[in-house]
Structure 1
Amino acid sequence: MAFRGPKVWLWRWRRNPLRRRADAVETWVLLAAWLLTVLAGVLAGLTTARTVEQDMARERVEWRPVVALLAEQAPGTAASGTASSDQVWAKVRWSARDGSTHTGQARVHPGSGVATPVTVWTDPQGRMVTEPATPSEARTRAGLVGGIAGACAASVPFVAGRALRRRLESRRIDQWGYEWARVGPLWGGRMRG
């Protein structure tokens, strides 16, 4: 294990006669990559979260519950005290705001008869949609989606910075090998003489 002295803060920016141009370039690449990583992640995450939350707020305003009627007998047999997880899919019919009739599939209790009322949610065009998210559910979903979007956006400059840094390091090692090949034999000759 190599001996390492005390860690010096901002050592990459200090003047050093042994520091090469490649070292300075690597320093700035590293700084730029970290700044872009943080900026991209935060901006993408906040923008995405805000957009998702606004979309869900719009859904809460525009989507409306409508009473639909069963168009056919629901499969299964009616049982008292059935849980919502015991519901089955059945065909329902409802009227939109413009008076047009729509049909679709909704979850109902097994054995429900024809014309049994069922509440479904519809969009402004009368199409069936899921129940909109509550404000707290919307915040949670927006936070999760924003976090994922931020992480994905941050990974791009992070990976690009790592690749560029690896390329600079490879180039620096090649340069060091070239310099060693040029100076090494001269230095070795002095040691023998």
Structure 2
Amino acid sequence: MAGTRRTTMTGVRCWRWRRNPLRRRSDVVEARIVLATWTLALLGGAFAGQAAATAVDRDIAARRAEVHAVAVVLLEDAVKIPPTTTGFDDGRVWARVRWTSADGVTHTARTKVDPDAAAGTRVTAWFDSAGDPVSGPPTATRRTVEVAGAGVLAASGAGLAVLAGGRLIRGRLLRRRLEEWAAEWERVGPQWRNLSGGKG
């Protein structure tokens, strides 16, 4: 019984693909539009997601290539201060550090370091090619999250855009079909009422 019902339901869903006296040309067109829409949504979404993920990954790699790690010495305690404003907080604090470059010159600067480190502690800080302190590159975990997030967002956006376009086209086809049915009923309705004994 369950097998028969499943077969019947499948037949109901796929009636536009089989030859039958009720199927119109617009039904075939709509079925092909549905198939094309889902195919384009899946393929387009996958392509857009892959392209976005690759672009973000390249951007992170380029940012990482522009900075370098330097072993520095804290000149003061890195004390965590409660934030006074709302916004992004990576958990690190500003502290003054000192380091000696390859040419033997001693430098000092303020940069972000992990909190609760005492003065005199050697820590790692990040600097750009000009020697200015910058935020370090994202960790491997954060990089994975950013790349995956960009891919998912792009894939979802592209897929939803295609599905919305397909739904719009189907809506127009439905309105046209209803108009055709109304016109046909205007033509056939009086004859049907006469045959059924009603008044024309």
Which residue does 2:86 correspond to in 1?
Answer: none
Query: How big is the shift at 1:166?
Result: 1.2
Helix, strand or coil at the partner of 2:33: helix
**Alignment of 1:30 onto 2:49:** no
Q: Percent identity?
A: 38
Q: Distance in 2 between matches of 1:155 and 1:97?
A: 54
Which residue does 1:187 correspond to in 2?
Answer: 192
Cα deviations by residue, 1:15-74 (Å, 9 ceiling, x for unpaired): 223221211111111111111101111001111112222332333343212366889998
**Alignment of 1:44 onto 2:77:** no
Bigger Cα displacement from structure 2, 155-164 vs 64-73: 64-73
Q: Distance in 2 between matches of 1:27 and 1:76?
A: 62
Helix, strand or coil at the partner of 1:192: coil
Unpaired segments of 5 or more residues in structure 1? 78-83
Query: How big is the shift at 1:140?
Result: 2.8
Which residue does 2:60 correspond to in 1?
Answer: 56
Q: Which structure 2 residues correspond to residues 157-176 of structure 1 after superposition, within 5 A?
A: 157-176=162-181
Q: Distance in 2 between matches of 1:166 and 1:137?
A: 43
Say whether the 8 Å CA contact 1:74–1:108 is kept in structure 2.
yes
| Structure 2 CA distance for partners of 1:97 and 1:46, relative to 1, 3 Å | farther
Say whether the 8 Å CA contact 2:56–2:147 is kept in structure 1.
yes
Q: Which structure 2 residues correspond to residues 1-193 of structure 1 after superposition, within 5 A?
A: 5-8=8-11, 10-66=14-70, 85=91, 88-89=93-94, 106=112, 119-192=124-197
Supply the RMSD in Å over aligned alpha carbons: 3.9
Q: TM-score, normalised by structure 1?
A: 0.70
Say whether the 8 Å CA contact 2:96–2:108 is kept in structure 1.
no
| Structure 2 CA distance for partners of 1:13 and 1:89, relative to 1, 3 Å | same
Which residue does 1:80 correspond to in 2?
Answer: none
Q: Distance in 2 between matches of 1:136 and 1:11?
A: 49
Unpaired segments of 5 or more residues in structure 2? 1-5, 82-89
Say whether the 8 Å CA contact 1:41–1:154 is kept in structure 2.
yes
Which residue identity lines up with residue 156 of structure 1 in the other structure? A
| Structure 2 CA distance for partners of 1:39 and 1:191, relative to 1, 3 Å | same
